[in-house]
Amino acid sequence: MPRADRARVGAYGAAVCAAAYGSMKLAQALGAKALADRDPLPPELRERLLARDPLFVASHWVLAGAAVVGVVLALATVRPWGAAAPRRLLLAIAWVLGIFMIARAIGVLGFGFVGDALLLADVRPPPAGEAALARDLARWDLLLWSPFFLLWGAFWTATAGGRRVTGRGAP
C-alpha cells in the first residue's frame, strides 16, 4: 500500500476509534454504565467509578472532549481544511498518541497483554481478596481494551508514518 494511502487509512481509522471511545465516555458521563464495570482499575478506584464519584464523571467529560479533539486532529492530517495546521505538530501528536496507545496495549504502562497474561497465568498475584474480579477484568482487558488500544495506536502511527513533513499545507 502506498505511503499516502496508509496515512489516509490510519487517519480515518484513528478518527473512528476516537469517536467510538469518545461516545462511550460521553455515555458514561451522562450516567450510562457502558462497559464502566469492565474498566481495569484497582478495586478502590473501580468502586468510585461505579458510584459516579464527581471526579470520575468529570474525567469522562474531559475524555469525551479529548476524543473530539482526536477526531479533528486525525482528520486534519488528510482533509483540505487541515492544511492550515502546522504539519510537524500534527505528526508529532500522532506519533506520541500512537506510541502511548501501543505501549498501553502491550503492557508497558501496567495494563495490557503482558500484565493480563501474567495475572491470568498466576505469575503476578492479584490484589488480596479481589482475585476473581482481577481475573475477570484481565480477561476483558485482554480481549477488548488491549486490542482496541493496539489498533488505535497502529492507526495513529500509520497516520504519522505515512506523511512527509513539509511545513504547512496538505500533503
Question: What is the per-residue DSSP string for 23-55?
Answer: HHHHHHHTT--TTGGG----HHHHHHHHTT-HH
Identify residue 123 by its one-letter amino acid code: V
Q: What is the pLDDT of residue 14?
A: 98
- Dist CA 19 CA 6 (whole Å): 20
Q: What is the pLDDT of residue 167?
A: 47
Q: What is the pLDDT of residue 170?
A: 45
Q: What is the pLDDT of residue 30?
A: 92
3-class DSSP state for residue 168? strand
Tell how far CA 24 is from the center of its chain. 12
Q: Is the dihedral of CA 28, 141, 91, 93 positive or negative?
A: positive
**pTM for the predicted model, two decimal places:** 0.87
Positions of the chain with pLDDT lower than 70, given as ranges:
109, 163-171
